[in-house]
Amino acid sequence: MEECELLEAYFDRLWPIMRSITGDGVRKTHDILNEIVPLDRTEIPSGIKVFDWTVPKEWVFREAYLIDPDGNRILDAATNTLHLVNYSIPFKGTMSRSELDNYLYSLPEQPDAIPYVTSYYRPRWGFCLTHAQREALPEGDYQVVVDTDLIDGSLTLSECVLEGETSEEVLLSTYTCHPSMANNELSGPLVVAALAARLRAWPNRRLTYRFVFAPETIGAITYLSLRGEHLRNNLIAGYVVTCVGLDTELTFQQSRNGNTLADRAARNTFEKTDRRFNVRPFHPTGSDERQYCSIGFDLPVGSLLRGAYNQYEEYHTSLDNKDLISFEALSESVSALEEICRTLDANRTYRNLEPFCEPNLGSRDLYPTLGGTISDQDIKNRVRAMLWLCNACDGETDLIEVSEKCGYPVSLLSTLAEECVDKKLFAVSG
Amino acid sequence: MEECELLEAYFDRLWPIMRSITGDGVRKTHDILNEIVPLDRTEIPSGIKVFDWTVPKEWVFREAYLIDPDGNRILDAATNTLHLVNYSIPFKGTMSRSELDNYLYSLPEQPDAIPYVTSYYRPRWGFCLTHAQREALPEGDYQVVVDTDLIDGSLTLSECVLEGETSEEVLLSTYTCHPSMANNELSGPLVVAALAARLRAWPNRRLTYRFVFAPETIGAITYLSLRGEHLRNNLIAGYVVTCVGLDTELTFQQSRNGNTLADRAARNTFEKTDRRFNVRPFHPTGSDERQYCSIGFDLPVGSLLRGAYNQYEEYHTSLDNKDLISFEALSESVSALEEICRTLDANRTYRNLEPFCEPNLGSRDLYPTLGGTISDQDIKNRVRAMLWLCNACDGETDLIEVSEKCGYPVSLLSTLAEECVDKKLFAVSG
Amino acid sequence: MEECELLEAYFDRLWPIMRSITGDGVRKTHDILNEIVPLDRTEIPSGIKVFDWTVPKEWVFREAYLIDPDGNRILDAATNTLHLVNYSIPFKGTMSRSELDNYLYSLPEQPDAIPYVTSYYRPRWGFCLTHAQREALPEGDYQVVVDTDLIDGSLTLSECVLEGETSEEVLLSTYTCHPSMANNELSGPLVVAALAARLRAWPNRRLTYRFVFAPETIGAITYLSLRGEHLRNNLIAGYVVTCVGLDTELTFQQSRNGNTLADRAARNTFEKTDRRFNVRPFHPTGSDERQYCSIGFDLPVGSLLRGAYNQYEEYHTSLDNKDLISFEALSESVSALEEICRTLDANRTYRNLEPFCEPNLGSRDLYPTLGGTISDQDIKNRVRAMLWLCNACDGETDLIEVSEKCGYPVSLLSTLAEECVDKKLFAVSG
C-alpha cells in the first residue's frame, strides 16, 4: 500500500477515539501509532510536580449524552467526541432547557460547526453543539449523563529513538490530546510516526533521531521534566509538527533564537527545492515550542505547519475533519521533514588541507582536463561547486553555510566534499 | 482654558520680544515661560571660556530704524524684530541710497518675505526688508539709527528639573534665541514648557526629567560646560525639540548612535499609535544635537520635529508667523513627547522566575480557564501578551524590546508585568 | 595621441601574438606592455613546486596547420591563433577525414565562431574551427603539422611597483595568457598598463601601487608563492582587472570578505559619481581572485569588470575581437580605477582635537560669518561637510566611512580635513 493510503487507514481508526490530555483514549491512540513504528511508553503518575505544574488527574470517559424532552438521545459523545467538553467532571441529573443553556457551547458565527472546548484546570462539565441545533432545542426537561471520572492515574508519553553514529540528536515532537479533529491534530502524530518509519529504514544514520508523542502543553512540560537536561546536552535541531494536513504551502516557524541549526537546515532545505513555503518568526503563543523555547531551555526547536493554527476557519471545530485534509499533503509533509533530516545528517564541517591558492583538482582527477569544452551543465555545476567547497571549507563553515553562499544543495556539496576526503584533500573537522 | 488656547495666549505675548543669543529679550522670554512651569535661571558672564568657545558680549537693544528721504520712519525693529540684523553693533549716521544698499538684506526669490539675518561673530549692522520694499526705496539720503550696545553682561540659561524615584534622567532641550518667528522657534519653547507642566502633574515619576531653555549653539555649548559631566553620568534619553508647530507628520531624527534608548523609545512609541511619522538618521548640520551628539559627549539625544528645518519655504523669514502654525499641532507635539516619556518611565527589565517551560498562569489567576471560548479580543491580546512576557523576560530584555518582538505597546506590557511582579512570578531586574 | 588611440595602437600589435601560459608569446607581450610602463620581469623555471602545483613546461610554438585533400593549407595558426588548441603537443602525420575529426573542436550552436580551447594539464593536440567550416571539410587525407615543443623553460611574470610614502600597497592584477581575443583578455593588460602609466605621473603617492601581469591561475599561484607573504603584510586593497573593454556598465565583484577596504573604496567611489555600475558578491569560479581570496590568503582583493565573464555570447571564441570592444570604454575603465586609487590614497583617519561640542569654525576662518545669507550651494556643502567631519572624525572612522554617512565624496572631505590639520583642529591618526 502506498504511504498515503496507509495514513488514511490509520486516520480512520484513530478518528473516533475520545482523546484528552490523559486517559485510555491516549493509550489507544499510542497503541495504533505503535503499529507504524515501535514506541516506548512512559506513564507519569498524577500529582507529580513538573516545573511550575502538576501532572493532572487521569480522565476516565465512559459515555455522555442528553435525553431531550421527547426522549431522544442527543449530543452523544459516541457520535462525535466534540459534543462533550473535554475533561468534563461527572454529572447526572435533570434540568430545564434554560438551566441547561448554561452548560452549552456553540458558535453563533459558524452555526453549522460544533466547537472544540476543553476545561482542564477548572472543574466543569458541558456539551458542545452547532448553533443551529442549539436554537432548535425545545423547552422542557433534559436528562444529563456525563459518565466520567477524574482519578489518580497517569499521563501517557511515548517516544521512539533511532540511534545514529553520534549522540547528537534531532527531535520531532507532536501531540496526541486532541479528539476527533483532522488537521489539528491527527495530522501531526501520523506524519511524525510515518517519518520515524522512513528514517528507521535509512541504511545508516549519522545523527540520532527522537520522536515524541505527548499531550500538548502539560505533556511537553512533563517530557521536558524527564528529558530536558538530556536535550540541552544533545539536541542540535528539533521541530514541533502540527497542522500539516492541508493542501497549502509549507510554513516554517523559526525557533526563538531564529538562527539555530534547526532554522538554517529547514530554510536551506526548502529554498533548494521547488516547494512553495514561507518562513515566519517565532512567537510563543502557539503549541509546544512554548515549552521547548522557554527561557530556561531555549532549545533549537522550530515548527513545521501547513497554513497555521487558527488561521483557517475550521480550526478547533467539527469542520476540521477528513474532508478538510489531503493524505497526499500528509505524505508530502513526511517528505519535507525527511529532506530536512537528510540535510542535517549530511551537514558536516570540512577543512581544505590545501588552503593557499586553489588545489590542483586536475591532478587529483577532480576536474575535467580540457578547458573550454565542458558543455554538460552537470559537469559545470560539479566544477563550480567543487571550487566553492575549496574556497569555503575552512574548518569552521558547515555545508549549510557553503550552500547559502553558492546556491548548490547540501546533498551535492556533501557528495563532493566526501570525494575530497577520499582524495585526502579535505579533512572532516565537525 | 484648554492647552492650545493657553499656548496661543503665551505665543502672542512672546512674539514681539527682540530675542537674541543674549540680552534682556531672552530674560523676558524666560520670565513668561516661567509662568507655564517654574524655571531655575543661570547667568553665565561674558568672556567665560566654554570648550572651544567664549561666552559672547551681551547685546543691548533699544531701538533701530531708518528715516527715509521723505522723513518717514521705516524698517523700524519695533514693528518687526526681523528688520534689524540680529546682534547688530550700534551705528548712527546719514548715507546715500546706494551706500545704504551695502547694509540691506532681502530675498529676490521671495520678494514678500523679510529674511532673518544674524551676525554673532563678526561686528556688523544691517537692516532686513522685503525685496519689493527694497526696490521701491527712493534715491536720497537716509538717516540710520541702530541704538544697541555690546556689553560685558551674561548669557541666560533656564531649566526645570522634575525629580523622580531614580537619578536616571530624560532631557528635553529647546532654544530661545530666535526673535519673531513661529515654527522656528516659538514652537519649541512653548511645547517643552507645556510638557514640563504636564509631567509636573503626573502622580509619580520613576525617572527624573530635565527641561532646558537656552540660546541655540552657544547656549547648548555653555549648558554642556556646566552640566555635561552630570548628563554623561545620568542621561538615559534626550530630545531636542524644534519646529514642532506645523500641521504635518512628526519627524523623529535619531541620535548619532542611532540605537540608544532615546531612539528605541521614540520609534516604539510612534509605531504603536496611529500617528503619521517618519524617522530619519542623525545629521550634525541641524540644531543643538550638534552639541549633545558631539564626539566627546555622544549623548543619547535625538530630535523631534514636524517637517524639518529649512524644508519649508517660510523658514528663517517673516513668513514663519502665526498663520503658518497650528496650536492644535503644538498641543499634539506635547502629547507625542508625553507618550515617549510614559514609554521611558514604564520601560523596565523583568526576570521570569519560572524560566523552565511556561509558568502555570491559570493557577495564578493570570489565564482564562475555559479553553476555546475566549472570544473577546482584549482577553486574547492579554493572554498573548502575557505569554510573550513569560518567554521574553529573561532579566536582560527591556519592555521596549519585548514590544518590538510581539507588537503590543509598552503600556499593556508594563501593566501585565507588574501583575506578574505582584504574583511573585516576575522580579524587576533593571 | 590620446589614450584611447594609444591603446588601440598597442592592441593591434598585441593581437596576432600566440600567447599561452608560458613561452615567447608571453615575453613578446610583456615587451610591448613595457613600452607603456617599465616592467620588472621574473622567470620561474619549469618544474618548481608552487603550493599544490608545479610550474609547467614552457610551450614552444613554431607553426601549425593542415593540408587538405586538395593541397590547400587550412586552419593555419598564423592566420588566427585560436585555430590551434592552446598548449598542443607536437604532431606530424597524415590521417583520414574521419580520424581527423577526433582532433577538431567547433561550436554547433555558434556555427561562425572558432572556439578557444586549451589543454594545459593533459597532453593533447587539436584544431579549432567554425562549425560551418568543419561541416564543409571534404573526405580524403589530411596532412597535419603541429610544430610545437614542451621544454624545460620558464614561466614569465612581470610587475611594476610605484613606491609611495608608505609601504601600504594597492594591487592591480591582470593576465596575459589569452591569445587573440579582445575583451577577454587584451583589455585587462592594456588597462592595467595604462593605469600604471597614469599613476606614475601623479605628483605624489601616499600608497605604494603594484601592477602584476601573469598567466591566469598558474601565474597568480606562482606569483603568490613569491610575493604572498609580502602581500599579506602590506596589501590594503587589490583588484583583479578583466573583461573591461565592453561598452557596458561597470561591475565590481566584491572580495571574499565583502567588506574590506578594497570593497569599501570601490563601492564608495562609484556611488559618488554618475557612473552606471553594479556590485555583485564574491564567487570563486572566475579568475585570479580564486587565488588571492583562497582560504590561506583571503586578501582584500575584488574584481573590476564591464559585464562579466561568460555572460556575453562571444566569450572564449573568435567573435571576441576588436569589433566587440570600445577603446573609449577601455580608457574609461582606466579612469574608474584611477578614481578608486585616488579614494584609497586620500582615505585617512583623522581625530578632531576639539571633541566636546562643535569646534568654533568661525574663529578659525573655516565658517562663513554671516548667518542666513549663504546662498551659494558650494559654500553650503562645504560647511555641511565640515560639520560632518567634526562630528565623525573620532580617530577611528576613516574618510570612506564619513563619506558613507554624509554623502559627500572622499575628495571633498579630504581637502577639508587637511585644512583642519593645517589649522591644528584635526590630527592624522591613521
Asked if C94 is an interface residue toward chain B (Cβ–Cβ < 8 A), one would say no
The pLDDT tens digits of the residues spanning C317-346 come to 999 999 999 999 999 999 999 999 999 999
pLDDT grade for A371, boundaries at 50, 70 and 90: low
B313 with B226, same domain: the answer is yes
Nearest to A11 by CA among A237, A343, A324, A382: A324
Please say whether the dihedral angle defined by the alpha carbons of residues C303, C306, C308 and C309, taken in this order, is positive or negative. negative
Helix axes B24-36, B3-14, angle to 10 degrees: 160
pLDDT band at C310 (very low <50, low <70, confident <90, very high): low
Find, among C414, C427, C351, the residue nearest to C382 by Cα.
C414
Q: Tens digits of per-residue pLDDT, C65-102?
A: 999 999 999 999 999 999 999 999 999 999 999 999 99
Q: Are B115 and B69 in contact (CB under 8 A)?
A: no
- How far is A255 from A299, CA to CA, in rounded Å? 8
The ipTM assigned to this model is 0.92
C228 touches chain A (CB under 8 A): yes
Q: Quick one: closest CA in A to C228, which residue?
A: A356
Final residue of a domain: which of A124, A151, A178? A151
Q: Model confidence over B420-429: pLDDT tens digits?
A: 999 999 999 9
Residues C165, C218 within the same domain: yes
pLDDT band at B367 (very low <50, low <70, confident <90, very high): confident
Q: Of the candidates B363, B371, B388, which has its C-beta nearest A119's C-beta?
A: B371
Mutate to test the interface with C, among B121, B125, B291 (most CBs of C within 10 A): B121
C369 band by pLDDT with thresholds 50, 70 and 90 = low
Is there a contact between B284 and C388 if contact means CB atoms under 8 Å apart?
yes
Q: Is the pLDDT of residue C1 over 80?
A: no
Residues B10 and B101 in one domain: no
Name every chain B residue with its beta carbon within 8 A of the beta carbon of A319. Answer: none
Q: Which three cell numbers stand for residue A362?
A: 586536475
Interchain pair B371, A120: CB under 8 A: yes
Residue among A116, A122, A297 minimizing CB distance to B369: A122
Confidence grade of residue C307 (pLDDT, cut at 50, 70, 90) = confident
One-letter amino acid of C132: A
Residues A309 and A219 in one domain: yes
Average pLDDT over residues C151-176: 98
Q: Which tens digits make up the pLDDT trace of B292-309?
A: 999 999 999 999 999 765
Mean pLDDT of C375-390: 88
| Same domain assignment for residues C383 and C408 | yes
Q: Which of B350, B353, B356, B357 to mutate to test the interface with A (most CBs of A within 10 A)?
A: B357
User: For residue B366, what is the domain's CATH number?
Assistant: 1.10.10.10
Residues 6+ apart with CB under 8 A from A274: none
Mean pLDDT of A156-184: 97
B118 chain-C contacts, CB cut-off 8 A: 370-372
The yes-or-no verdict on residue A372 having pLDDT over 60 is no
* Residues A57-97: tens digit of each pLDDT: 999 999 999 999 999 999 999 999 999 999 999 999 999 99
- Give the residue from C407, C397, C428 showing the smallest Cα distance to B298: C397
Using CA atoms, how far apart are residues C382 and C416, in angstroms rounded to an integer?
8
Helices (H), B83-237: 97-100, 131-136, 187-200, 218-234
In this prediction, residue A309 carries a pLDDT of 59
Q: Is C393 on the interface with B (CB under 8 A)?
A: yes
> Which pLDDT does position C379 carry in this prediction?
84
| Nearest-by-Cβ selection for A294 from B357, B383, B384 | B357
pLDDT band at B31 (very low <50, low <70, confident <90, very high): very high
Last residue of a domain, one of C281, C315, C346: C346
Do A62 and A144 lie in one domain? The reply is yes
Sign of the CA dihedral A221, A225, A230, A233?
positive
Q: Please name the chains neighbouring B, where neighbouring means 3+ C-beta pairs under 8 angstroms.
A: A, C
Sheet holding C394-398, edge to edge: C394-398, C349-352, C426-428
Contact C342, B274 (CB under 8 A): no
Residue B373 has pLDDT above 60, yes or no: no
Mutate to test the interface with A, among C255, C295, C310 (most CBs of A within 10 A): C295
DSSP B321: S
- On chain A, the residues whose CB falls within 8 A of the CB of B359 are 52
Q: A257 at the B interface (CB within 8 A)?
A: no
Q: Which CATH number belongs to the domain containing residue A146 in this structure?
A: 3.50.30.90
Within this chain, do residues B123 and B201 fall inside the same structural domain, yes or no?
no
| pLDDT for residue A369 | 53
Q: Is B181 on the interface with C (CB under 8 A)?
A: no
What tens digit of pLDDT does each residue of B137-196 get? 999 999 999 999 999 999 999 999 999 999 999 999 999 999 999 999 999 999 999 999
Residue A96, CA distances (Å) to A76, B11, B192, C376 in order: 18, 72, 66, 90
Residues 6+ apart with CB under 8 A from A95: A141, A142, A144
Using CB atoms, list chains with 3+ pairs below 8 Å to chain A. B, C
Instruction: Say if the Cβ atoms of B388 and A217 lie within 8 Å.
Output: no
C373 confidence band (pLDDT: 50, 70, 90): low
Q: What is the span of the domain harbouring residue B354?
A: 349-428
In single-letter form, the type of residue at position C163 comes to: E
SS3 assignment, position B61: strand
Question: CB-CB: which of B359, B373, B390 is closest to A117?
Answer: B373
Q: Which of A109, A127, A151 is the last residue of a domain?
A: A151
Q: Tell whether B323 and B194 lie within a shared domain.
A: yes
Say whether residue C352 is in contact with chain B using an 8 A CB cutoff: yes
In this prediction, residue A311 carries a pLDDT of 74
Is B249 an 8 Å CB contact of chain C? no
CB atoms B358 and A120 under 8 Å: no
pLDDT in tens, A320-343: 999 999 999 999 999 999 999 999
The alpha carbon of B271 is separated from its chain's Cα centroid by a whole number of angstroms, namely 20
Percent of chain C with pLDDT over 90: 90
Q: Is the pLDDT confidence value at A40 over 80?
A: yes
Shortest distance, CA A267 to any CA of chain C (angstroms): 21
CA of residue C428 relative to chain centroid, distance: 32
Q: Phi, psi at residue A128, to the nearest 5°?
A: -115, 145
Report the alpha-carbon distance of residue A420 to residue A426 in Å, rounded: 5
For the stretch A117-141, pLDDT in tens is: 999 988 999 999 999 999 999 999 9
| B106 and B219 both lie in a single domain | no
pTM above 0.90, yes or no: yes
Asked if C122 has any chain A CB less than 8 Å from its own CB, the reply is yes
pLDDT digits (tens, 9 = 90+) for B277-287: 999 999 999 89
Q: How confident is the model at residue B275 (pLDDT cuts 50, 70, 90)?
A: confident
- On whether both A249 and A302 belong to a single domain, the answer is yes
- A337 touching B (Cβ < 8 Å): no
Cα A372 vs. chain centroid, distance in angstroms? 50
**A358 to C296: CB separation less than 8 angstroms, yes or no:** no
Residues B274 and B378 in one domain: no
Question: Is residue B371 over pLDDT 70?
Answer: no
Does position C388 have pLDDT exceeding 70, yes or no?
yes
Binding-face residues of A in 278-297 toward B, CB within 8 A? 283-285, 290-291, 293-297
Neighbours of B157 (CB within 10 A): 24
**Mean pLDDT over residues B93-104, rounded?**
97
Using 50, 70 and 90 to split pLDDT, how confident is the model at C366?
A: confident
DSSP annotation string for A65-117: EEE-TTS-EES-TTT-GGGBPBTPPPEEEEEEHHHHGGGEE--TTSTT--B--
User: Which helix (H) or strand (E) is B291 found in, with range?
Assistant: helix B289-292
Number of domains in chain C: 3
SS (H, E, C) A245-270: CCCCCEEEECCCCCCCHHHHHHHHHH
Does residue C220 sit in the same domain as residue C264?
yes
CATH code of residue A180: 3.40.630.10
